[in-house]
Amino acid sequence: MHPAVHAKTRPERPAYIMAGSGETVTYKELDERSNQGAHLFRSLGLKAGDVIALLLENHPRYFEIAWAAQRAGLYYTCISSKLSAGEVEYIVGDCGAQALITSAGVGPVVDELPALLPGVKLFMVGQTREPYLSFEAARAAFPATPIADETAGTDMLYSSGTTGRPKGIKPPLTGAAIDEPNALVMMAQGLFGFTPDSVYISPAPLYHAAPLRWTMAVQRLGGTVIVMEKFDPETTLALIEKHKADVGQFVPTHFVRMLKLPKEVREKYDVSSMRSAVHAAAPCPIPVKEEMIAWWGPVLNEYYAGSEGNGFCFINSTDWLTHKGSVGRAVTSPLHICGEDGEEVPPRTEGVVYFASEQPLAYHNAPEKVAESTNQHGWTTLGDVGWVDEDGFLYLTDRKSFMIISGGVNIYPQELENLLITHPKVADAAVVGAPDEEMGEKVVAVVQPMEGIEADDDLRAELMAFSRANLSHVKTPKVIDFMEELPRHATGKLYKRLIRDAYWGKKESRIV
């Protein structure tokens, strides 16, 4: 279960294909280039347990660098290409990276970094400018055979920062062989139907945990990854048809945007090759998932988990159709719903979602985050609120940090967001609490209209009436505002903190 194995048995099979350029890298090429990269890292003095950082868009060299680090026993920290120089400086410093690999495609931020990162070895892929060294040229000086002391490294990723400054997640290294058994690969095969012949479509940025880990799992199996440089709904359908993709990982935002294509556009493409459309990262509105299953068939497989790896829930389409709205049953660690006192509550009672995992949380340089996420039983939480039914299926209500308290009533924004996104004139929606003298907080809906729809009082009145017709008055918005585009992470997560802070008069902070 490693690209090195497939380089021997299926050397000419594409390990990945860049969707836009069509550039193809075979398993033989991936193996040789990652071997050279591992030699390069050793020449820089990097030993097992050290850290490198990648600041890249979805670039053809991404996997070559990640696998080089993996087989050299390094941690590889993948950083969002959308961050400011100061935010990159924070992550590089916090994780202790000794080398940074970036590209001119990231933009002007790369020119600010050298002054902020003294002592860090700086490389660029593709077109290079000083003081960066060419990663490809440096790598080419080394042999394409394995280093003598191969050992398994892993990713060290940072939370997306939707509610605050990102935290690094640093799992312990095992010291095992580079092809040691991998739990995600086993789930990819057993739960999601991935095979060595799979063609996997990846529409999301590789710096995020799910796209990075799923694509590398495909390459452990020997499948082919189709890497989209940027998501586009119609292009996604065209790529599925062109490459006969049978598996892929999506977020609900991808589904919404594909469903809102004109019917005649959707019907142009043959997507019948899809056997397993994996989705997670954000709650999927029930009508959206119903429409996707009606369109693609019962191939949607949902999971709920975090980069922290403390728990994993899974549900296939068949079970979902009889438990609509659920994100599944626990697979890896026992699931518990707890009240404010940390004690377990009965089925169908809302509470904080905890997992009784044998794997402790591993937030880097953040013992306070570990402590606040762990209860008296040693169970750990990602901060989500939900409930379980009598069959053990989990239903998420929202994140605890997004709860609105209006007149002493707890209101979770997700329900209203899920409703608004189904309206034909709405492209995206966020619901936050804003200050209110009488009630403490009031419900505010911030809507991104569909292209060509006027953001005016008529639309505001239409959406207000739509909300009141479908939800109790307590949950309906008191204010509806409009934004040209909501601040949403490319993986689908909404930076609700930035929207909420604007209503509370807080200085806007950069998305991290």
- Domain boundaries, given as residue ranges, for the chain: 23-178, 217-399, 418-503
Paired tokens of 322: 């009889």
Q: What is the pLDDT at residue 161? A: 55
Percent above pLDDT 70 for the chain: 96
* Banded model confidence at residue 50, pLDDT cuts 50, 70, 90: very high
The CATH number corresponding to 217-399 among 1.10.10.2120, 3.40.50.2020, 3.40.50.12780, 1.10.3720.10 equals: 3.40.50.12780
* Distance (Å, whole) CA 322 – CA 494: 28
> For residue 439, is pLDDT > 50?
yes
The CATH number corresponding to 23-178 among 3.40.50.620, 3.40.50.980, 3.40.1260.10, 3.40.50.720 equals: 3.40.50.980
Percent above pLDDT 90 for the chain: 73
Q: What is the pLDDT at residue 512? A: 29
Q: What is the pLDDT at residue 497? A: 77
Place of tokens 């490459």: 243
Question: CB–CB of 274/296 below 8 Å?
Answer: yes
Task: Write the CB contacts of 389 (distance below 8 Å, at least 6 apart in sequence).
Answer: 323, 326, 347, 348, 395
**CA distance to 21, 58, 167, 248, per residue, from 251 (Å):** 24, 17, 22, 10
Q: Answer yes or no: same fold for 23-178 and 217-399.
A: yes
Q: What is the pLDDT at residue 108? A: 94
Sign of the alpha-carbon torsion through 451, 454, 456, 458:
negative
Q: How far apart are the first and last CA of the chain?
A: 34
* Distance (Å, whole) CA 61 – CA 78: 13
Closest alpha carbon to 470 in 395, 396, 417, 419: 419
Q: What is the pLDDT at residue 160? A: 63
Q: What is the pLDDT at residue 495? A: 79
> For residue 338, is pLDDT > 70?
yes
Q: What is the pLDDT at residue 260? A: 92
Task: Write the CB contacts of 5 (distance below 8 Å, at least 6 apart in sequence).
Answer: 179, 222
Mean pLDDT of 397-417: 79
Fold of 418-503: GMP Synthetase; Chain A, domain 3 (3.30.300)
* Distance (Å, whole) CA 26 – CA 11: 7
Paired tokens of 176: 């095992």
Checking 87-90 for CB contacts under 8 A at 24+ apart, the result is 87/510, 87/512, 88/55, 88/113, 88/116, 89/113, 89/116, 89/117, 90/165
3-state SS class at 505: coil
Q: How many CA atoms lie within 13 A of 159 on its CB side?
A: 22
Task: Write the CB contacts of 94 (distance below 8 Å, at least 6 apart in sequence).
Answer: 168, 364, 365
Q: Mean pLDDT lowest for which of 34-48, 225-239, 468-482?
A: 468-482
Residue 189's Cβ-count burial label (10 Å; 0-12, 13-18, 19+) is middle
